[in-house]
Chain A
């Protein structure tokens, strides 16, 4: 029982520790990081900024967690899918024009088209991974590269603007809500996903398939169906994230929407204490991981690191985290501490 407690605390220990670390750095370098002001019933400040900006990442991380858990591989196409979705939505709403100030098609049509495209992308990835058994990262590499090209084609190589206030809602703040809308989008996604995992057996199915696909099949689970579903869900999440991202800038910028987000999403999952090899997962860990990453990004910006340069630091963090997860390193550490113990034991003997 004690051991078990240790384990459960350990699961969220790493992500929380990282978050605290990042915040500590800020406490020293940028004390006003924690200052929160109120204007017109809205909250402002670095922290609020982190909470706001992290929203897309949280949504992606939710999808990524399930894909990683079921298939032991990551989906690196999520950023590109966001761009495709943004392109489709804006283009539908703009009715093919480059910049509009009112919808040329109903809002709901645009959203549905975007979500449909996201799900199709998810199905494509899912088909390659689940049915053709191609390594997830290679399968998703196809959309990773082709995705932005497709987005360019959809928008005719231009940035399509939808300058309608209604369109901006998903990505900004509205009166009466103290926090920006994206935050609530993220929270809704997390709550709905958690409910699905709690109220159905899909969470256990995903873990089971991720741990032992052969045994899972023999107890009546269809692993390819489950893996496929997680990729469709991952695509859907990328779609929602794409909507929010596009709404923020009320346009579809094929080159920049969701750029480098795949690394952030993978990082969030790893930071959340989840093994990138699949199996057991913690959704909350990934969510905390996502906020940690955004805190890190915001911190770097606050330290005047340019957005092109930020990936350097994130890459270093990724390497450190996956290295710490590496059984090889754990073994090495163990050997060293055990070695000491053995020596002591001999002395006693």
Chain B
């Protein structure tokens, strides 16, 4: 191995049934660097991580790590850890019921006469955390601390176990800016101590803020490895997407906006839900596509969830077509013409074992009520209609939805809501994790629907996408709605500015 290199992966191949997940992928990590692993969903970055950490087996290729002779094959995350490769995931990594100290040392507790030496454990824990500038009470249970602190504790644990390679898998998704900054400070500190860090994230800004190198994957193949300063943002995006910006721009809608009606469909007055979204006012007109923008966790999803009754609002009022509406649960919202495509397709969208047909008709059925079953014929007609209209690729309408690809699952859910013929459609990240073709289809569809008079709330992490579809935007920051941008004000920079906040 070359000097300074802690980890090399060479010619890695991995296939899942029907998918070539990794083809001839190389990856190199040097000591004391933060290395971003970038790629669209389905590019293979999570597969690469899984192969490295022993969650999945790979078919051919070799992995070498500094200090070990020959190649290593990790069969489990534990084995990877013993080889000096630790991973900190976006979700929980700790046991919430145990104390901070114990979470740091469990499985390798300091002993005295065969028994756990609690005193020493606490002392060591305090010393470790002090050295990393993490200030918490080591005897308190972990569940008393925020996700950000929990992430840092997980990192501290990984590092203390003498990790040569630290993998951070989307650790910043649920953190606010301040917390992200603290995490970056910790990462830089570890880098300076010589740890090699693999950073998986979908936030471009963060890559440029903290990383030294970038490896880009696309469709299971390696696009290349670049130094951060040699790869401008636009090029990075182009490499990830495998397209030039011109292609994308082709879809950009014509100068004038769709004709927005005067009629107000939805009006929120000081609507709020404790702990997720502070009271906000919002008016949505007929035939309008309004975008909600803000960082992840800024309250975008929480705002629509309060309107839809997914999180029952505990203050303020909601007017639907001028009439006051008490929304206790989603069905109330649905009965008043609302529809909601949730952000998390797998957990909140699809009903995995049910067929495409059942997944499409279920919302309409719920609206009609338990005792008014749609006839078999109606069900089939509706299903066929949306399979055709949205070009859903499925063997037939009785195929369980879980066997469909992500994009097609999303179309099924879209079909489910269109079938209820809503006046007001909420789309929360409808294009996340979906191939670019489907993405543009969905964007086009949204514009068509608005043309026909439907009001749409569109939420996306991709600003370009929002610019293409929305005629107005509401900006959120830290759980509050902080402003609105009219169509003529909409531009990349104005949105960025609004999201970031601060003085003009």
Contact = CB atoms under 8 A, between A and B. Distances in A.
Interface string B367-404: 11111111000000000000000000001101100000
Contact of B348 (A4, A208, A215, A220): A215
A279 interface: yes
B110 interface: no
B395 A1 contact: yes
A108 interface: no
Contacts of B367: 220
B363 A201 contact: no
Interface in A164-207: 199-202, 204-205, 207
Interface string A239-270: 00000000000000000000000000000000
B330 A220 contact: yes
A221 interface: yes
Given A207-B358, A214-B347, 16 more contacts: A3-B395, A4-B395, A201-B374, A202-B370, A204-B362, A205-B366, A207-B351, A208-B358, A211-B352, A212-B350, A214-B348, A215-B342, A215-B348, A218-B348, A220-B329, A220-B331
Interface string B399-432: 1000000000000000010000000000000000
A219 interface: yes
Interface size grouping (class) on chain A = 20 to 34
B353 A219 contact: no
A3 B395 CA distance: 10
A215 to B, nearest CB: 5
B55 to A, nearest CB: 14
A7 to B, nearest CB: 9
A216 B347 CA distance: 10
Contact of B350 (A4, A202, A215): A215
A204 B362 CA distance: 8
B349 interface: yes
B9 interface: no
Contact of A279 (B353, B362, B371): B353
Contacts of B350: 212, 215
Given A218-B348, A220-B334, A208 B362 contact: yes
Contacts of B308: 218
Nearest to B398: A4
B236 interface: no
B337 to A, nearest CB: 12
Contacts of A222: 329, 331
A217 B329 contact: yes
Contacts of A211: 351-354
A221 B366 contact: yes
20 contacts: A200-B370, A200-B373, A201-B368, A201-B372, A201-B373, A202-B370, A204-B358, A204-B362, A212-B351, A214-B347, A215-B351, A216-B351, A218-B342, A218-B349, A219-B334, A220-B330, A220-B331, A221-B366, A222-B329, A279-B353
Interface in B318-375: 329-331, 334, 340, 342, 347-354, 358, 362-363, 365-374
A207 B354 contact: yes
Contacts of B372: 201
Contacts, number: 84
Contacts of B374: 201
B353 A207 contact: yes
Nearest to A7: B400
Contacts of B260: none
Q: What does DSSP make chain A's interface, helix, strand, loop or mixed?
A: helix
Interface in A101-136: none
Contact of A220 (B366, B371, B398): B366
Contacts of A218: 308, 310, 330, 340, 342, 348-349
Contact of A204 (B352, B365, B399): B365
B440 to A, nearest CB: 26
Contacts of A201: 365-366, 368-374
B374 to A, nearest CB: 8
A284 B152 CA distance: 53
A89 B353 CA distance: 42
Interface string A272-288: 00000001100000000
B325 to A, nearest CB: 15
A218 to B, nearest CB: 5
Contacts of A215: 342, 347-351
Contacts of B399: 4
Interface in B190-227: none
Interface of B: 308, 310, 329-331, 334, 340, 342, 347-354, 358, 362-363, 365-374, 395-396, 398-399, 416
Interface of A: 1, 3-4, 199-202, 204-205, 207-208, 211-212, 214-222, 279-280
A199 B373 contact: yes
A221 B334 CA distance: 11
B353 A280 contact: yes
Contacts of A280: 353-354
Nearest to A207: B354
Contacts of A221: 331, 362, 366
B354 A1 contact: no
A201 B416 CA distance: 16
A219 B329 CA distance: 10
B452 to A, nearest CB: 23
Interface centre among B348, B351, B367, B374 (most CB of A within 10 A): B351
A199 B369 CA distance: 12
9 residue pairs, one from A and one from B, having the closest CB atoms:
A220-B366, A220-B331, A219-B363, A220-B334, A212-B351, A201-B373, A211-B353, A214-B348, A201-B365
Given A201-B373, A214-B348, A220 B354 contact: no
A185 to B, nearest CB: 25
B82 to A, nearest CB: 23
Contacts of A205: 366, 370
A1 B355 CA distance: 13
Contacts of B340: 218
B331 A204 contact: no
A215 B396 CA distance: 23
Contacts of B330: 217-220
Contacts of B369: 201
A133 to B, nearest CB: 16
Interface centre among A1, A3, A200, A215, by most chain B C-beta atoms within 10 angstroms, is: A215
Contacts of B368: 201
Nearest to B402: A211
B488 to A, nearest CB: 35
Contacts of A214: 347-348
Contacts of B329: 217, 220, 222
A204 B363 CA distance: 11
Contacts of B352: 211-212
Nearest to A198: B373
Contacts of B342: 215, 218
Nearest to B361: A204
B373 A208 contact: no
B234 to A, nearest CB: 37
A280 B402 CA distance: 14
A336 to B, nearest CB: 15
A158 B363 CA distance: 53
B104 to A, nearest CB: 31
Contacts of A216: 351
A204 B398 contact: no
A221 B329 CA distance: 9
Contacts of A279: 353
Nearest to A2: B395
A218 B370 CA distance: 16
A202 B395 CA distance: 27
A216 B373 CA distance: 17
A217 B368 CA distance: 15
